[in-house]
Amino acid sequence: MATDYLESEPSREAVDALAGPTLLEFGSPTCGHCLRVAPFVAAALARHPRVRHLKVADGSGRPLGRSFGVRLWPTLVMLADGREVTRLVRPVRPAEIEEALAAIDAAA
């Protein structure tokens, strides 16, 4: 599990080319909602070691977040082989994160 946000965000083309299951997490290190969800994400990812986790700092003018239509943090985008399977916006229940990760782990 990625605990820190990436130094620089990957390009959309690089994300689209990722093989296997990936959790693309958009947020900010100062976002209260993001901090609240972090332990839920960590626990769910511990049960899905095949899932790649990319934690992307989002904000105004950040192209990757805009290309995914991110408006609220955290936004968790689940990808299977670079294609979006589902997304969660400000999830509140650990079970919904677990279910979404299980779906991409099985799909890829």
Q: Please report which helix (H) or strand (E) contains residue 102, including its range.
A: helix 94-107
Main-chain dihedrals φ then ψ at residue 67, nearest 5 degrees: -65, -25
pTM: 0.94
* Residue numbers of the chain with a pLDDT score lower than 50: none
Closest CA to 28 of 70, 67, 74, 62: 74
Residue 61 pLDDT: 87
Residue 2 pLDDT: 65
As a CATH number, domain 12-107 is 3.40.30.10
Count of CB atoms situated within 10 Å of the CB of 6: 12
Note whether 21 and 105 are within 8 A (CB).
yes
Residue 44 pLDDT: 97
Task: Encode pLDDT of 40-59 as tens digits.
Answer: 999 999 999 999 999 999 98
Sketch the domain layout of the chain as residue ranges.
12-107
